[in-house]
Amino acid sequence: MKVTKPLLHFSAGTVAGVLIISQLAFNNDTRKNQLDNNPPQWHIPQTPESMSFAGEKVPLERWDIEERFDREFLFIYYQTSNIIFVKKLANRYFPLIEERLKANGVPDDFKYLCVAESNLQHAISRSGAVGFWQFMSYTAPGYSLRINKDIDERYHVEKATDAACKYLKAAYSKFGTWTAAAASYNCGQGGYQKHSTNQQTSNYYDLQLPEETNRYIFRILSFKYLLENPEKMGFTLSDEDLYQSFSVQSITIKESIPDLAKFAIENGTTYKMIKQLNPWLRSTSLAVVPGNSYTILLPTDN
């Protein structure tokens, strides 16, 4: 019987397909057997026996507190890429944040609240909170952060840190502990006061709060322990791995800049670099009201 070429091609293709499927099935079976015989090994990270936040003792001897911390610590510990990235960023941004916290009389541990809020990135939350310290547009002006069509100082790390300090000091005066002040940063002073009044205590560790706030302090504590003990927890980074501070010079602007791209070129840099060093600049221009001024950072090397 004469077999046509199309039928020959079909037959050959069928045989090839069967062979490929058979090989894939064999390889999948092999990989499955390998995984069955050598499953991934996960270990439980060792949590600290004692901790403090802003000089205030964390009652880890209580089973409920220890388990709440353990839960959050596990979640964050296994976000390994995020921990490494934050550790790299911390080398660049922590010195500035630490300096502003100290200048404002706020404990150094609050830099870890900043990490818990934004991972040291200019994040925008689903609710519209912005920047390292996650200010809402309607609360920012009350903390001296200017927002208009050209600028948004929620993206200004130094000014936003000062604003956060203003909030935290007021909350500390109201609630009496830095831990309560930190928790109220998540649920608001009004929210914290409501739960405190209803439950007849202002002690964070004795309050039943909304789930996010229940976890909030333990999220901060987890970042604190991991970033203070990276090698102990298995995160080994050399100095060369860390992101360095920007090499910049500052220039005071007292007159409007109609074209930021032109301004950048005239100052030996690029529009992109201006935006990266000054993320609070949100437009292609900068209007300066008479009597006001802004400080713009320029690179000293490109």
Give me the CATH number covering residue 178.
Answer: 1.10.530.10
Does 33 fall in a domain?
Answer: no
| 129 alpha-carbon distance from chain centroid | 13
User: What's the whole-number mean pLDDT along residues 135-156?
Assistant: 97
- Are residues 225 and 80 located together in one domain of the fold? yes
Q: What is the pLDDT of residues 76-96, one digit of tens each?
A: 999 999 999 999 999 999 999
CB 91 within 8 A of CB 59: no
Does 8 fall in a domain?
Answer: no
Does 285 fall in a domain?
Answer: yes
Where do runs of H (alpha helix) occur along the chain?
Answer: 5-37, 63-77, 80-103, 110-118, 157-175, 178-187, 189-199, 211-228, 260-266, 271-277
Domain boundary among 241, 261, 282: 241
Coil, helix or strand at residue 253: strand
- Are residues 209 and 65 located together in one domain of the fold? yes
Structure tokens at 215: 């976890």
Does 229 fall in a domain?
Answer: yes
Does 176 fall in a domain?
Answer: yes
Nearest to 122 by CA among 87, 95, 160: 160
Does 110 fall in a domain?
Answer: yes
- Are residues 195 and 284 located together in one domain of the fold? no
Using 50, 70 and 90 to split pLDDT, how confident is the model at 26? low
- Are residues 235 and 262 located together in one domain of the fold? no
Domain residue limits at 256: 248-299
- Are residues 256 and 146 located together in one domain of the fold? no
Res 87: pLDDT:
98
- Are residues 288 and 271 located together in one domain of the fold? yes
- Are residues 121 and 55 located together in one domain of the fold? yes
Question: pTM higher than 0.95, yes or no?
Answer: no
| Helix pair angle (80-103, 63-77), 10° resolution | 110
Q: What is the pLDDT of residues 262-297, one digit of tens each?
A: 999 999 999 999 999 999 999 999 999 999 999 999
Give 35's contacts (C-beta < 8 A, 6+ positions apart). Answer: none
- Are residues 88 and 209 located together in one domain of the fold? yes
- Are residues 223 and 205 located together in one domain of the fold? yes
Domain boundary among 241, 270, 285: 241
- Are residues 154 and 293 located together in one domain of the fold? no
Does 30 fall in a domain?
Answer: no
- Are residues 283 and 159 located together in one domain of the fold? no
Domain boundary among 218, 241, 264: 241
Other C-beta atoms within 10 Å of 122: how many? 15
Res 301: pLDDT:
75
Q: What is the pLDDT of residues 244-270, one digit of tens each?
A: 999 999 999 999 999 999 999 999 999
Domain count, the chain: 2
Coil, helix or strand at residue 166: helix
Does 24 fall in a domain?
Answer: no
| Helix pair angle (80-103, 211-228), 10° resolution | 90
Average pLDDT, the chain: 91
Using 50, 70 and 90 to split pLDDT, how confident is the model at 156? very high
Nearest to 105 by CA among 161, 187, 174: 161
- Are residues 124 and 261 located together in one domain of the fold? no
Using 50, 70 and 90 to split pLDDT, how confident is the model at 75? very high
CB 163 within 8 A of CB 145: yes
